[in-house]
Chain A
Amino acid sequence: MEAILGKGLEKRYGKVKALDGLDIRVEYGEIYGLIGPNGSGKSTFIKSLLGIVRLDRGELFALGRRAPSKALLKDIGYMPQEPALYYNLTVEENLRFFGKLYGVPRLEEVVEEVIGLLRLEEKRRELVESLSGGMQRRVSLGAALIHKPKLLLLDEPTVGIDPVLRAELWDYFRRATKEMGATILITTHYMDEARRCDRVGFILAGRMLAEGRPEELVRGVGAEGLEEAYVKYVKG
């Protein structure tokens, strides 16, 4: 059974085809990277899983159930592109608010746990607006983790972040999968991040070009690295 299974997904915005028959398969417990340039349909796919965007066609399942559905949402964590936090609340208050939305039991303990996991102890009582961009992303990840979701959707979580902070965030993604046993779907256009994934999917113009382990994809087209492999898949 797959954590996410999509078949023939289609979505149009006016004349633009954001998803054009996308097929995707994400296995339980893995970090799956959806790799493609801006406008390739990555965000649209994530939003369709959450019901923020309505699909025109196709079949979509998550955690063994048809998606999107309201019942499914409590098992999914979502980190949007923007930090998507309340800037005039403190770190703790943000985490508590999102925890309440999910009806997290023993919320205070869980907030402590997440603050510990993301090493936010020193900033916990600071307003989010006063935090650095990297720190805001960490809180944003915390808000996505607060209800211990089985599936974590990270939409370009590292865009515009310097390489050091990106490496640090990846460390947290790994910890989340290990300590919470979550499956992660992450979208990015950074090839160095693709290497960190268990499996990746190359997406372009709303279609899946190839799916597999990074090294398989590189070998499959006789490329030197992932970047070259992507270009080769694009050229067909």
Chain B
Amino acid sequence: MIEESQIPWVLASSSTTAVEATSTGFFPLQWLGVLLGLAGLIFFLGAAVGMVRFPDFYTRMHAAGKGDTLSTMLMLSGFALVTMEDFSVGSWLILVKIMAVVLFIYLTTPTSSHALMRAAFEDDEMPLTEADLEKSKKRKRRKKK
């Protein structure tokens, strides 16, 4: 583990907590990162369930587009905080890089899902209507009889 003499630059207030964190567990900023990561996992659970359960391409795209973007951003920023063990220049560089990935995903994932949705719409992929739902209900009734 990291000795205090090896750390080039440590904030005066957090130096004791950083050394404790290497031996016992997380310090408060890392707990925030753990919480963000778990929240991202919950959102990805929602996206995965939506992708399996929803009846239609557009509804599945709704679940995947929203849940995927938010969960990726939450998990990446959580890991950016978890890897901040000491406040050295190297860990700040990692934080900035991970935040660059977060910004990139924030811009690109909605763009790609929009492009995919537009391609599906121009390829005459029809959304599910109320008539289709009634048809599927009738089929279920026939199966029961």
The reply to whether chain A is a binding partner of chain B is no
User: Interface of A with B (CB < 8 Å)?
Assistant: none
User: Interface of B with A (CB < 8 Å)?
Assistant: none
